[in-house]
Copies of this chain bind each other. A is one copy, B any other.
Amino acid sequence: MSLESLREEVCRANKMLQQYGLVCLHSGNVSGLDRSTGRLVIKPSGVDYETLTPEDLVEVDLITGKILSGHLRPSVDLPHHLYIYRNMPGVGGIAHAHSDYATAWATVGRPIPLCLTEIADYFGAEIPCAPYVDNEGDNIGQAIIRYRNRAPAILLANHGAFTWGPTAIDAVKLAIALEDVAKKAFLACQLGKPLEIPLEEARKWYDKYHHGYGQIVPPRTPTTVSRGGSGPGA
C-alpha cells in the first residue's frame, strides 16, 4: 500500500471514531502500519476530528520511533501503539478510545462477559480488563501485551480501551463493535444476571462469522488478509 493510501485510510478510520460517537472532543486515536516499509501514521495530538486531513497525520518509523514527516506532534499515545506493533506481528491497525460503556466496565475493573452471540462473532471470548497503570514509558503497552492472546481488544482500568486488527479500518470497526457489546452487556446487567455462552458455543459463531459471512473479495495486498466482513448477523 502506498503511503498516500495509508494516510487516507487512517484518516478515515480516525473520523469514524467520532462519527460513531466513541470520542469526546479530541480524545481517541487510530494508527495504521505498513509492515513492508516499517512506517506507521498516527493522529496528531489535540486536533479536531472535523478538520483532520490525511496530510495532518504524523509518519513514524516503527523501529526507531522517530518522526519521519509532518509538522504536527503525534498523539501522546504513540508509545503504546509502537509497543503493540513491535510485539504483535500480525497487527496493522490500532484504535484507542474512551467510549462510554467500554470505559464504564473498565472503571470497575470488570471484563465484559461472553454473554452475546455478537461478542462471540467479533471477539470469540470475553473482553479482558487490565489493572490500572500510569501513562509513563511502556507501562500501557506492556499491560496490553499481557492479554494479547485473549481477544483483539482490551479494557484498561480507569481509562478506556484498545482494539487492533489487520488494518486501521478493521481496528476501528472492532472499537465500534466493542462499544456496542459493552452497552448491551451493561444493559443486561441492569435487568439481571447475563446468561453466559460456553466457550465451545462461542467458537461456532466465531468460525461462521469469520469464514461464512460477508462477500468474497480479493485481498487487496499480497499478504492474505481475511476480510470476510465486519458485522455479525446479516
B107 and A180 contacting across the interface, CB-CB below 8 Å: no
Copies in the complex: 4
- Given A28-B233, A101-B187, A103-B184: 15 more A-B contacts, CB < 8 Å: A24-B176, A25-B173, A25-B231, A29-B234, A43-B234, A45-B234, A73-B215, A75-B233, A75-B234, A76-B212, A103-B118, A107-B194, A108-B195, A135-B204, A160-B233
Contact B187 A189 (CB under 8 A): no
Residues of A that sit less than 8 Å from B by CB: 23-29, 43-47, 72-73, 75-77, 96, 98, 100-101, 103-105, 107-110, 115-118, 132, 134-136, 157-160, 173, 176-177, 180, 183-195, 197, 201, 204-205, 208, 212-216, 228-234
Chain B residues, CB < 8 A from A205? 134-135
Q: Which of A43, A44, A107, A159 has the most B CB atoms < 10 Å from its CB?
A: A107
Q: What CA separation (Å) do A121 and B67 show in the bound complex?
A: 25
- How far apart sit A200 and B36, CA to CA, in the bound complex (Å)? 43
Smallest CB separation, A195 vs chain B (Å): 5
Query: Are A214 and B157 interface neighbours, CB within 8 A?
Result: no
Asked whether, in the complex, the Cβ of A158 is within 8 Å of the Cβ of B76, the reply is no
> Across the interface, which residues of B come within 8 angstroms of A190, CB to CB?
104, 186, 189-190
Smallest CB separation, A99 vs chain B (Å): 9
Interface SS majority for chain A = loop
A188 to B231, CA, bound (A): 27
Given contacts A43-B234, A135-B208, contact A108 B215 (CB under 8 A): no
CA distance A104 to B101 in the complex (A): 14
Which of B27, B28, B194, B228 is in CB contact (< 8 Å) with A46?
Answer: B228
Contact call A46/B213, Cβ cutoff below 8 A? yes
* B residues less than 8 Å from A46 (CB atoms): 213-215, 228-231, 234
Q: What are 6 A-to-B residue pairs whose CB atoms are below 8 Å?
A: A23-B234, A24-B231, A45-B234, A98-B184, A107-B116, A108-B191
Give the distance to chain B from A48, nearest Cβ to Cβ, in Å: 9
- State how many angstroms separate the Cβ of A55 from the closest Cβ of chain B: 14
Q: Assuming the A-B contacts A116-B103, A134-B204, are A191 and B234 also in contact, with contact meaning beta carbons closer than 8 angstroms in the complex?
A: no
